């Protein structure tokens, strides 16, 4: 079974730049280190370990890969590969899958090679880009939103919040729609369908009135699109009754969905905005309008990075900025909340749900599937790391399915819905689960004690050897200590059952 806390993680290779055409590959005659490092980064360390021979060639190697690294001596490549071989591989209980057949699924009855598609954005905005993504292994692409508007983008138009390892946690954009005209985009569809007949082309469109929604849908169908996605959610096209302005008004969602549905015979998905308290009213309106599915979520309205000297938020365009769309791994919890809402809504039963919002590694993708998504879309992670992430998305999910005994990815869809409640009132409150301290992994930093003292219930102290000691009379089992521990040395331990009356707070 795949361990919840892998022994190797991003923190072990924090200085790796995830190079393109990595120098470490050219320096190694036995392996391709770059792919192995990427697999660690993208939570597919077991998949990487299973590709290694019985004995690591790195044991008797002088590590030229580390010397040719763009950060010489800063990435322990040899050690990481040895740990994959001798630490991770022995824990693998399942052989690598022989094929990707278990990943095959569908979108409204149309076959997908796997659940992974590019979402409507710059990553799917030209023929060449989509072709390279298809060659890399993506099952389809939702092409950047097509419209009849004259689009001229601002510069710069991206900004981000980064984590300690330098990776993007949250990403803001003020980008609008396709800057190619309708005819040019229709030509792209024809070429893609001719050269990649097995790939799924999802055409994102945005009209300015009922007639235009219908006309764009009809043209996309005639030029090879497999389905249409109605963009009712772009936060950067709100003026004049476009984008997220529509998604916030169920009556408009229903009306424009019906317009597109009348004009074409291919499936129609309504892409809804997260800039609402609940998504169900708009989703139910889309169903009344004839939608075959719902896509969610689009980016969230945001303000990022106020410059302390110029007082302008980022990205700054000639001294001015604007509210934009927030994406990336930071929005995943919000996206999952909306996915669960849609998945649990009986009025939407039978509709296809296409999930997106913060998918970066295969475990992210799995979470969307467990909450009801039948297909998945990705943008921000591709913008940061490239189309190559599809290798570990597919391999990680494929191995998980085999380990769990699932024959097909469709079997996991919605499995997480029944245990999720809309509020905390229904949860059991008469048991305290104490934390358990692994003294071998503990380094005595005291982070657990500090957090418990100042953010918890003053239940942890350090002994004379700088090891944590628990006061069971004070501990309420909140597990803040486990979250802040940099060594992952704290896990759930023994339980204490409270008297029912004592749990009333």
pLDDT value, residue 48: 96
Q: How far apart are CA 240 and CA 149, in angstroms?
A: 12
The answer, yes or no, to whether residue 6 has pLDDT greater than 50, is no
Mean pLDDT for all residues in the chain = 93
> What are phi and psi for residue 169, nearest 5 degrees?
-90, -50
CB neighbours of residue 32 within 10 Å: 14
The answer, yes or no, to whether residue 238 has pLDDT greater than 90, is no
Peptide bond into 156 cis (omega under 30): yes
Backbone dihedral region for residue 204 (phi beyond 0: left; psi -120 to 50: alpha; all else: beta): beta
Tell me the pLDDT tens digit for each residue of 352-375.
999 999 999 999 999 999 999 999
Backbone dihedral region for residue 174 (phi beyond 0: left; psi -120 to 50: alpha; all else: beta): alpha
Beta-carbon contacts of residue 206 (< 8 Å; ≥ 6 apart): 145, 146, 147, 177, 216, 230, 231, 234, 237, 242, 243
Per-residue pLDDT band for 237 (boundaries 50, 70, 90) equals low
Distances (CA, A) of 481 to 330, 333, 374, 476, 493: 22, 21, 36, 12, 13
Q: How far apart are CA 294 and CA 286, in angstroms?
A: 8
Task: Read off the pLDDT of each residue in 123-135 and give the average, rounded to a whole number.
Answer: 97
**Model's pTM, two decimal places?**
0.93
24 is catalytic: no
Beta-carbon contacts of residue 7 (< 8 Å; ≥ 6 apart): 45, 83, 87, 88
What domains are defined for the chain?
A: 10-91 (1.10.1060.10), 101-154+175-301+331-412 (3.20.20.70), 428-503 (3.30.70.20)
Tell me the pLDDT tens digit for each residue of 67-94.
999 999 999 999 999 999 999 999 999 9
Q: How far apart are CA 134 and CA 382, in angstroms?
A: 13
Contact, 284 vs 253, CB < 8 A? Answer: no
Please tell me which residue in 16, 69, 130, 234 is annotated as part of the active site. 234
Task: Read off the pLDDT of each residue in 142-157 and give the average, rounded to a whole number.
Answer: 85
H-helix or E-strand containing 395?
helix 390-404
Per-residue pLDDT band for 481 (boundaries 50, 70, 90) equals very high
Per-residue pLDDT band for 7 (boundaries 50, 70, 90) equals low
Q: How far apart are CA 329 and CA 331, in angstroms?
A: 5
* Nearest CA-CA partner of 373 in 295, 299, 298: 295
pLDDT value, residue 54: 87
Q: How far apart are CA 277 and CA 422, in angstroms?
A: 13
Tell me the pLDDT tens digit for each residue of 247-304.
899 999 999 999 999 999 999 999 999 999 999 999 999 999 999 999 999 999 999 9
Q: What is the DSSP string of 181-213?
A: -HHHHHHHHHHHHHH-TTSEEEEEE--SSHHHH
Q: How far apart are CA 203 and CA 271, in angstroms?
A: 12
């Amino acid at each position: 079974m795949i361990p919840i806390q892998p022994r190797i993680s991003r923190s072990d290779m924090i200085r790796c730049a995830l190079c393109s055409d990595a120098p470490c590959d050219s320096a190694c005659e036995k392996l391709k280190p770059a792919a192995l490092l990427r697999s660690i980064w993208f939570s597919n360390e077991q998949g990487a370990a299973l590709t290694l021979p019985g004995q690591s060639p790195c044991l008797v190697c002088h590590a030229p890969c580390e010397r040719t690294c763009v950060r010489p001596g800063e990435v322990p490549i040899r050690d990481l590969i040895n740990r994959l071989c001798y630490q991770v591989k022995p824990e693998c209980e399942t052989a690598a899958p022989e094929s990707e057949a278990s990943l095959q699924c569908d979108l409204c009855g149309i076959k997908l090679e796997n659940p992974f598609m590019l979402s409507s954005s710059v990553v799917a905005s030209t023929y060449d880009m989509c072709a390279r993504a298809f060659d890399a292994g993506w099952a389809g692409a939702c092409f950047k939103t097509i419209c009849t508007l004259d689009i001229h983008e601002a510069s710069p138009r991206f900004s981000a919040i980064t984590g300690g390892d330098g990776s993007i946690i949250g990403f803001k954009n003020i980008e609008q729609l396709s800057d190619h005209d309708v005819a040019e985009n229709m030509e792209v569809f024809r070429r893609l369908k001719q050269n990649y007949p097995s790939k799924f082309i999802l055409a994102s469109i945005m009209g300015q009135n009922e007639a235009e929604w219908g006309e764009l849908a009809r043209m996309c169908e005639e030029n090879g699109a497999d389905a249409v996605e109605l963009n009712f959610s772009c936060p950067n096209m709100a003026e004049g009754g476009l984008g997220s302005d529509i998604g916030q008004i169920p009556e408009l969602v229903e009306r424009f969905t019906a317009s597109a549905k009348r004009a074409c015979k291919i499936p129609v998905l309504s892409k809804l905005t997260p800039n609402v308290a609940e998504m169900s009213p708009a989703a139910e309106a889309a169903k009344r309008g004839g939608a075959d599915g719902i896509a969610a979520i689009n980016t969230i309205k945001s303000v990022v990075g106020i410059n302390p000297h110029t007082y302008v938020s980022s990205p700054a365009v000639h001294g001015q900025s604007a509210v934009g769309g927030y994406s990336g791994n930071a929005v995943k919890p919000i996206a999952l909340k909306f996915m669960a809402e849609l998945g649990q809504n009986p009025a939407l039963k039978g509709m296809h749900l296409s999930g997106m919002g913060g998918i970066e590694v295969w475990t992210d993708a799995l979470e969307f599937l467990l909450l009801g998504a039948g297909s998945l879309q990705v943008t921000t992670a591709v913008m940061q790391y490239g189309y190559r992430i599809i290798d570990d998305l597919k391999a990680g999910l494929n191995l998980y399915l085999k380990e769990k005994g699932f024959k097909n990815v469709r079997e996991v869809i919605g499995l997480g819905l029944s245990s999720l409640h809309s509020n905390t009132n229904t949860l059991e409150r008469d048991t305290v689960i104490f934390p358990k301290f692994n003294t071998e992994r503990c380094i005595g930093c005291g982070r657990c004690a500090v957090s418990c003292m100042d953010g918890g219930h003053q239940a942890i102290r350090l002994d004379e050897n700088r090891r944590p000691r628990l006061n069971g009379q004070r501990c309420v089992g909140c597990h803040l200590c486990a979250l802040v521990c940099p060594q992952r040395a704290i896990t759930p331990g023994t339980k204490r059952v409270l008297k029912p009356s004592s749990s009333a707070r």
